[in-house]
A and B are shown apart, each in its own frame.
Chain A
Amino acid sequence: MSNQRLRIPQGTEAFYLEEAYAHRELLRQFEDICSSWGYLPVQTPVFDFHDLYRGIDDETAKSSYRLVDRDGDILVLRSDITLFLARQMGMIVQQQDLPVRVYYGDTILRHEDSNDLSKNEFFQIGAELIGTAGVEADAEIILLLLETADGLGASTSVLHLGSRALLRESNRSEKFARAIEARKWDEASRLLADEGADPQRIDSLIQLYRFIGTAGELRELISESIDLQPAEREALRYLLSLADELSAVGHGDRFRIDLSEVGDRDYYSGIVFHLYDEGADAPVASGGRYDELLGHFGANTPSVGFSLMLRRLQSQLPSADLPRTPHPETAGSGSFRDRVRNARLLRAQGKVVRL
């Protein structure tokens, strides 16, 4: 017991006073941005039935905490809001309501290795556009993410944009996806060779998945005699038209096409992206399109969204850029009743007053 007083369970976090104030302010700024874009808030439950999520996403399952309720059902604690939100939306959205725009901000609980307690995956904020497919919906979510990053102080961040759809056309094995994501080109080549791809095709695909750069540079690459299937070219054309839209609205310098971004969740089906910031030891935000996810929960409708690890972002913002607690004024030196009266007047003028 006395030993436990000095420890905190892995995967949990508490924060206080000025730090908690800054967190709340950042959250409020995010909520204001989302509201101004016409998004409505959603709240997901802290736990749900484990079996509902079985087989949808292995990565999430690995890091989730499970418990047994009084009826013997296995429950899973919220470790990824996207999944819990899909389940809730799957239950309630009707075809006539679509599209639905929602945002959220809440704690998540994930197992973390004892030697790796700095991942700061404790608080997830995000937004989703449900019921619309296509370039404009994808662009809307990316623009909302970039405006959120700017609003929260991460204006130097850069979005790396890739495509799970492209990967699905090249090779559907999860091993291949993981090799590409880890930029292990020898292993990716070997996996392609094992499936009978000829050397020219392997060379073309590796050249493609290594690519990081601008839309112009990608156009140049794929106009060369590179051995691609029509469906792969179609996935690239889609990505390029999305890139054109983002550039046309003034964000050409905020993203790079990066085809090694293939999504770290099984449920992605279209575009995928990560947001990187100077100094952050891991991506601060991730997202993409998951058109089949809501179908698992009864609503066969497309969806695209992002989630941002707010505590991770906060931890690497310069402290001077974080919201500061206001300096309260005193309510004078009279009796308690006088001070209350005085404080009411000052507060009505927008001042922060301490009794």
Chain B
Amino acid sequence: MTARNQNDALTLAIPKGRLQDRTEELLRSRGYEIRFEDRKLVATDPGGQLQVMLVKNSDLPTYVHHGIAGLGVCGTDGIYESGYRFFTLMDLPFGKTRMCLASRADYRPEGDVHRLRVASKFTRFAHDYFQERGIPCEIIRLDGSVELAPVLGLAPYIVDLVETGSTLRANDLMVIEELATVSVVLVANPAYYKFHYKRIDALVDTLR
């Protein structure tokens, strides 16, 4: 409920995992040295400007929406899935990827296909994408290893993030269509931005 903190630093949530190192590296290069002590998930830079919280990628939008962190580093895919509205302050120079529709390379639909059956972690995105185009679609939610779905016969199609395509190739899958570009962005809780806009704009200028 609150993004107050004792030293008045701006609060920023960053995701654990593949984006953590790149985000810390960017912050370091701009003078914000963030060191998480052993097993701790909150750290403040020595200058006291930025308090950084390390959270699970999929939970990050929730923390920002509720103002626990005023700012967040997150993929546009995760923000879309959350359904929350944030101010997007800037694109970050890493983590660009593609949201793709894929299937087995040898898959041939039999007869007329009236309804796509798609497995995905990104169910909101997949639902909206096909609905906006008037394509009937059945979405099956999976939480990981989505590429297994066509291999094991759960669904002939998947919607998933594709970076190099090596995971797809290793499972004899191929991209049928690129549905969207996904980037990593710095977002702000709108009310937090409005209250702290000067300091946040200055931070964005530093990060650019």
The judgment on whether A and B are partners is yes
A residues engaging B (CB < 8 A)? 113, 115-116, 118, 158, 160, 182-184, 212, 258, 274, 276-283, 315-316
Which 7 A-B pairs give the minimum distances between C-beta atoms? A281-B67, A279-B2, A279-B4, A276-B195, A276-B194, A183-B87, A282-B191
C-alpha gap A15/B92 in the complex (Å): 44
| Bitwise interface map of B from 1 to 22 toward A, beta carbon under 8 Å scored 1, else 0 | 1111000000000000000000
B interface residue count range (under 10 / 10 to 19 / 20 to 34 / 35 or more): 20 to 34
Residues of A close to B84: CB separation below 8 A: 116
**A281-B1 in contact given A113-B83, A118-B66, A182-B85 (Cβ < 8 Å):** yes
C-alpha gap A280/B67 in the complex (Å): 7
C-alpha gap A212/B190 in the complex (Å): 14
Residues of B close to A116: CB separation below 8 A: 65, 84
**A278-B195 in contact given A182-B87, A184-B88 (Cβ < 8 Å):** yes
Q: Determine how close the nearest CB of chain A comes to the CB of B31; give it in whole angstroms.
A: 25
Q: Is the CB of B66 within 8 A of A280?
A: no
**A315-B194 in contact given A116-B65, A183-B87, A279-B67 (Cβ < 8 Å):** no
Q: Is the CB of B191 within 8 A of A258?
A: no
B192: Cβ under 8 A from any A Cβ:
yes
Which residue in chain A gives the minimum CB-CB distance to B8? A278
- One of B1, B189, B194 near A316 (C-beta < 8 A): B1
C-alpha gap A212/B199 in the complex (Å): 13
Q: Is the CB of A281 within 8 A of B191?
A: yes
**A118-B194 in contact given A183-B87, A279-B67, A281-B66 (Cβ < 8 Å):** no
C-alpha gap A315/B67 in the complex (Å): 13
Q: Determine how close the nearest CB of chain A comes to the CB of B76; give it in whole angstroms.
A: 13
Q: Is the CB of A316 within 8 A of B66?
A: no
Q: Is the CB of A315 within 8 A of B87?
A: no
Q: Is the CB of A212 within 8 A of B83?
A: no
Which residue in chain B gives the minimum CB-CB distance to A113? B83
A-B contact count (CB 8 A): 51
Q: Is the CB of B4 within 8 A of A278?
A: yes
Which residue in chain B gives the minimum CB-CB distance to A282? B191
C-alpha gap A217/B160 in the complex (Å): 47
Q: Is the CB of A280 within 8 A of B191?
A: yes
A contacts with B: majority SS: loop
Which residue in chain A gives the minimum CB-CB distance to B87? A183
Q: Is the CB of B195 within 8 A of A277?
A: yes
Which residue in chain A gives the minimum CB-CB distance to B67? A281
C-alpha gap A158/B12 in the complex (Å): 22
Residues of B close to A274: CB separation below 8 A: 194
B107: Cβ under 8 A from any A Cβ:
no
Q: With contacts A115-B83, A116-B65, A278-B4 known, what are 12 further pairs, Cβ within 8 A?
A: A113-B83, A118-B1, A158-B195, A160-B194, A276-B195, A279-B2, A279-B4, A281-B1, A281-B2, A281-B3, A283-B194, A315-B1
Q: Is the CB of B194 within 8 A of A281?
A: no
| Bitwise interface map of B from 76 to 90 toward A, beta carbon under 8 Å scored 1, else 0 | 000000011101100
Residues of B close to A184: CB separation below 8 A: 88
C-alpha gap A115/B65 in the complex (Å): 11
Q: Determine how close the nearest CB of chain A comes to the CB of B13; give it in whole angstroms.
A: 13
Q: Determine how close the nearest CB of chain A comes to the CB of B2; give it in whole angstroms.
A: 4
Query: Which residues in window 138-196 of B have CB below 8 A to A?
Result: 189-192, 194-195
C-alpha gap A2/B3 in the complex (Å): 37
Residues of A close to B129: CB separation below 8 A: none
C-alpha gap A158/B191 in the complex (Å): 11
**A258-B195 in contact given A183-B87, A279-B67, A281-B189 (Cβ < 8 Å):** no
Q: Is the CB of A283 within 8 A of B87?
A: no
Query: Could you give 22 example pairs across A and B, Cβ below 8 Å?
Result: A115-B62, A116-B65, A116-B84, A118-B1, A118-B66, A158-B195, A160-B194, A182-B85, A182-B190, A183-B87, A276-B194, A276-B195, A278-B4, A279-B2, A280-B67, A281-B2, A281-B66, A281-B191, A281-B192, A282-B67, A315-B1, A316-B2
B130: Cβ under 8 A from any A Cβ:
no
B197: Cβ under 8 A from any A Cβ:
yes
C-alpha gap A115/B83 in the complex (Å): 10
Q: Is the CB of A258 within 8 A of B85?
A: no
